[in-house]
Structure 1
Amino acid sequence: MGDKPPGFRGSQSWIGCVEACLCLDHFGGPQGRLCHVPRGTGLQGQLESLFAHFAGGGGPVMVGGDADAQSKALLGVCLGPGTEAYVLVLDPHCWGAPKKPTEIQAAGWVGWREASTTFDCNSFYNLCLTSRNPREQQHTQD
């Protein structure tokens, strides 16, 4: 796409959410909208927006950070009473077709995690919210 130096092609280097969003646009995939969260504690304030994103038919949310280098894909949000909240996290390194859907859960590739402990409070995060529906994407804008 021309956004990286020539030596990047064929390398083992990783891309982040910003590049993933650019790739989605460039290759005609789902639309991506970026959201920058300066500190992991700020993700608590984004949970209602993420819930609305999924409730409105939005697709997976790619998550990347700096101090928290463990990439994640969010597939859902469950808001409980008070500050109780959970995120459905998929490890994006998961590959292959499981024989049963429960296999990826049993292997730890996907599961509900408490939102307050899933994100590093000292890390910034970039979120790439995916959507095929331009109206839904506009609805979730901050």
Structure 2
Amino acid sequence: MGDKPHGFRGSRSWIGCVEASLCLDYFGGPQGRLCHVPRGAGLQGELERLYSHFGGGGGPVMVGGDADARSKALLGVCLGPGPEAYVLVLDPHCWGAPKNSSEIQAAGWVGWQEISTVFDPNSFYNLCLTSPNSKMQQHALD
């Protein structure tokens, strides 16, 4: 896109959720809608949004934070009858084609985690909620 130094391409440097959203738009991928959460403790208040996102066919949610440097992607949310809530977390370092879904779960690449253990209550977070690009979806239907 031209916004990074020449040496960035091909490097192992990471980009954040804001940059990921810009890349999705620039390269015509799924749409990325950003949601800023000032403190990890505030993610409890975003659970309904996440639940609606996934229930409405939304794709993975990329997560980036400041004090929390553990990269993660959310694939689902499960709301209990009480205050407990779980998110299905994928470690984005996972790559390749697994033989089956239990293989990546057994290796710890993906799993349900209680929300209070996944997010640092003092870190801010940016969430990039992905959804199908209507233009690309229309071309696929044509």
Is TM more than 0.5 here? yes
Question: Per the alignment, in what secondary structure is the counterpart of residue 105 of structure 2?
Answer: helix
- The corresponding residue for 1:96 is 96
The aligned amino acid for 1:93 is H
- State the TM-score, normalizing by the size of structure 1: 0.90
Q: CA RMSD in A?
A: 1.2
Q: Write the mapping of 1:23-102 to structure 2, written as runs, cut at 5 A.
A: 23-102=23-102
The Cα of 1:82 is off from its aligned counterpart by 1.9
The aligned amino acid for 1:96 is G
C-alpha distance in structure 1 between counterparts of 2:86 and 2:122, whole Å: 20
- The corresponding residue for 1:4 is 4
The aligned amino acid for 2:75 is L
The Cα of 1:14 is off from its aligned counterpart by 1.1
The aligned amino acid for 2:72 is K
- The corresponding residue for 1:137 is none
The aligned amino acid for 1:98 is P
- State the TM-score, normalizing by the size of structure 2: 0.90
Q: Deviations over 1:42-86 (max 9, x none)?
A: 111001100000000000000011110001100000000121100
The Cα of 1:133 is off from its aligned counterpart by 5.6
C-alpha distance in structure 2 between counterparts of 1:56 and 1:133, whole Å: 14
Unaligned stretches of 5+ residues in structure 2: 135-142
- The corresponding residue for 1:116 is 116
Identity %: 84
The Cα of 1:13 is off from its aligned counterpart by 1.9
C-alpha distance in structure 2 between counterparts of 1:22 and 1:59, whole Å: 16
Name the count of aligned residue pairs: 134
Q: Label 1:125 to 1:74 Cα distance change in 2 as closer, same or farther (>3 A).
A: same
Q: Deviations over 1:82-132 (max 9, x none)?
A: 211000000011011111111000000000000111100111100000000
C-alpha distance in structure 2 between counterparts of 1:115 and 1:40, whole Å: 10
